[in-house]
Structure 1
Amino acid sequence: MENRIKQLREEHHMTQIRLSVALEVSQETISAYESGKHYPSIASLLKLTRIFNVSCDYILGLTEYRYPLQPYSSKEQLLISKWNLLNEYQQDLLSAYLDGLLQKNPSDM
């Protein structure tokens, strides 16, 4: 995690002092985060996600994906919930049907 905070700070051309002001902590605290001596509080972690527009998981080193996943629309959620009710054979059939739909020329419909 310590490398991520420093990396993000440098990418945003921020000094430790500027980041400390944004997080309302001391410059020494930022230095401790970056060296791995201390971890940010939950409140500071959430502020870091807003400052750098990355996910908590990215800052913590749990993922290589920087950006938070976008929530699914209600139609997408409904489709996923229906998909999860299908058995594997039904999912294969539906998948094949969708492949067929995607290969059709729109003028054929």
Structure 2
Amino acid sequence: MGNRIKQLREEHHMTQIRLSVVLEVSQETISAYESGKHYPSIASLLKLSQIFNVSCDYILGLTEYRYPLQPYSPKEQLLISKWNLLNEYQQNLLSAYLDGLLHNSPSNPQ
């Protein structure tokens, strides 16, 4: 996690002192975060997420995706749940059907 905080701080051209001012902690605390000696509080973690516009999971090293996934609408969730019930052959058929619909759609003249 410390490497992520340092990497993000450097990408945003921030010094440890500047980040400490924004987070309202000491420069020593930022140094401790970056060296792995201490971990940020939940409040600081959330603030770091906002400052660097990345997910908390990314800062914690739980994912390689920087940005949180957008939630799906109820219709999208229903489609995904139905898709997951299909076997691979059925998924391939549906995918081909959708490609045909999109290719031949009046709003999508090719």
Normalising by structure 1, we get a TM-score of 0.81
1:75 paired with 2:75, answer yes
Structure 1 runs of 4+ aligned residues shifted over 6 Å read none
Identity %: 91
Letter in 2 for 1:6: K
For residues 57-88 of structure 1, what are the alpha-carbon distances to aligned partners after superposition, in whole Å with 9 as ceiling and x for unaligned?
Answer: 21112222211111122321232233344455
Give aligned pairs, total: 108
Q: TM-score, normalised by structure 2?
A: 0.80
* Aligned residue in 1 for 2:99: 99
Superposition RMSD on alpha carbons, in Å? 2.1
* Structure 2 stretches lacking a partner, 5+ long: none
Q: 1:44 corresponds to which residue?
A: 44
Q: CA deviation at 1:48?
A: 0.6
CA shift for structure 1 position 53: 0.3
Structure 1 residue runs of 5 or longer lacking an equivalent are none
Report the counterpart of residue 14 of structure 1 in structure 2. Answer: 14
- 1:92 Cα offset (Å): 3.8
Q: Which moved more, 1:25-34 or 1:11-20?
A: 11-20
